[in-house]
Amino acid sequence: NAGVTQTPKFQVLKTGQSMTLQCAQDMNHEYMSWYRQDPGMGLRLIHYSVGAGITDQGEVPNGYNVSRSTTEDFPLRLLSAAPSQTSVYFCASSYSIGNYGYTFGSGTRLTVV
């Protein structure tokens, strides 16, 4: 039982490049989310999903796309990387948003130069 697995752990991108941050969970959780964490800003919600085939925008969705074709996977795509997207990205999942807490991945540290 691996929990929430994020890859890669570190990534450096050039401005304008695109990439996908991977997130997978093996706990059969329906609810999954992506957050970014910047110094002094706490965690900000980018996108979330309440189940396979269903996604919605969070607080800061611009510049990011998501899809949820399976219960297990919830990739985050950066369309055209910008220095403002330099951050630590966390994926999290939950069995039920009303009754259970999140399980977090260990994060992806992204630097855009």
Partner 1 sequence: SQQGEEDPQALSIQEGENATMNCSYKTSINNLQWYRQNSGRGLVHLILIRSNEREKHSGRLRVTLDTSKKSSSLLITASRAADTASYFCATVFSGTYKYIFGTGTRLKVLA
Establish if 34 lies at the interface with partner 1 (CB under 8 A): no
Distance of closest approach, residue 65 Cβ to partner 1, in angstroms:
18
Q: Nearest to residue 52, comparing CAs of 70, 29, 28?
A: 70
Q: Which residues pair with 1 in a beta bridge?
A: none
The interface with partner 1 within residues 69-98 (CB under 8 A) comprises 90, 92, 97-98
The interface with partner 1 within residues 35-64 (CB under 8 A) comprises 35, 40-45, 48, 50, 56, 58-59
Q: List all residues 6 or more positions away from 81 whose beta carbon is below 8 Å from its beta carbon.
A: 13, 14, 15, 16, 17, 18, 19, 112
Establish if 33 lies at the interface with partner 1 (CB under 8 A): yes
User: Which tokens in the block code for residue 90?
Assistant: 């966390």
* 92/112 with CB nearer partner 1: 92
* 13/92 with CB nearer partner 1: 92
Quick count: other Cβ atoms within 10 Å of Cβ 70? 10
Distance of closest approach, residue 50 Cβ to partner 1, in angstroms:
5
Question: Rounded distance, CA 112 to CA 67, Å?
Answer: 23
- Our CA angle for 19, 96, 36, nearest 5°, is 30
| Site of interaction with partner 1 (CB under 8 A) | 4, 31, 33, 35, 40-45, 48, 50, 56, 58-59, 90, 92, 97-107
